[in-house]
Amino acid sequence: MIKNYIKRPPITIGRDATVEEAAALMAEKGVGSLAIVDERGRPVGIITERDVVKAVARRALEAKVVEVGTTSNLLTASPEDDEYEVLKKMRERRVRHLLVVDKEGKLVGVLSTRDFLEDAALRALGDKVWWPPPEE
C-alpha cells in the first residue's frame, strides 16, 4: 500500500506564498520541490527548483508559487491504494510526483518515483509477480 512508502510529512507552501519564500523554504529543508496547498491543506500544485530558476530569469521573485509551479496533470492517490496500480499511472501520465491525500483531500505525503526504488517496493512488486491478486 502507498502509505508504507510515506517516510516523512510533506513539505508544503501556501498558494499565495512568493517564489522567494519558496526558495527560502527549499533551502531550509534541503529539498528540491514543495507541494503547494490551499488554506485547507489540499494540494493544488508542485513547485520545483527549476521553476524557481525560471522565475529568477524572468525577475519574478515576487510572483506567487501557483503562477510558476505546475498546477495541471497532478496525480493524487489515497494512502490505501495499491503501489503497482499507482506506479503504472505515474508512468502512463509521465509524472514524477505523487500527491497522497486522505479522505478529506488533505495532503498527507508526496512520493517521487525514487521513493519506490527501494527494497520494500521491489519486494512488493516481486510478490505481485508470484501471487497475482484474484481480481487480476
Partner 1 sequence: MRDLIRKPPVTVPPTATLLEAAETLTSHGVGAVVVVDPSNPDKPLGILSERDIVKAISAKMPLSTPVEAFMSTDLVTVEAEEPLSRAADLMWMYNIRHLVVVERGKFVGVISVRDLLEPNRRRQLC
- Find the shortest distance in angstroms from Cβ 50 to partner 1: 6
104 contacts: CB under 8 Å, gap ≥ 6: 40, 42
54 binds partner 1 (CB under 8 A): yes
Question: Among 7, 28, 39, 129, which residue sits at the site for partner 1 (rule: CB under 8 A)?
Answer: 28
24 binds partner 1 (CB under 8 A): yes
125 binds partner 1 (CB under 8 A): no
* 22, 52 Cβ separation under 8 angstroms: yes
Residue 91 or 105: the one with the smaller Cβ distance to partner 1 is 91
Q: Which residue, among 101, 118, 100, has the nearest Cα to 110 in the 3D structure? A: 100
27 binds partner 1 (CB under 8 A): yes
The SS3 call for residue 81 is coil
Q: Which residue, among 46, 43, 20, has the nearest Cα to 32 in the 3D structure? A: 46
57 binds partner 1 (CB under 8 A): yes
Phi, psi angles (nearest 5°) of residue 95: -110, 150
Binding-site residue total for partner 1 (CB under 8 A)? Answer: 17
- Point out which span in 27-35, 67-75, 115-123, 124-132 binds partner 1 (CB under 8 A): 27-35
Handedness of CA 14, 19, 21, 26 (dihedral sign): positive
Stretch 60-79 residues interacting with partner 1 (CB under 8 A)? 61
Give the binding site for partner 1 (CB under 8 A). 19-20, 23-24, 26-28, 32, 49-50, 52-54, 56-57, 59, 61
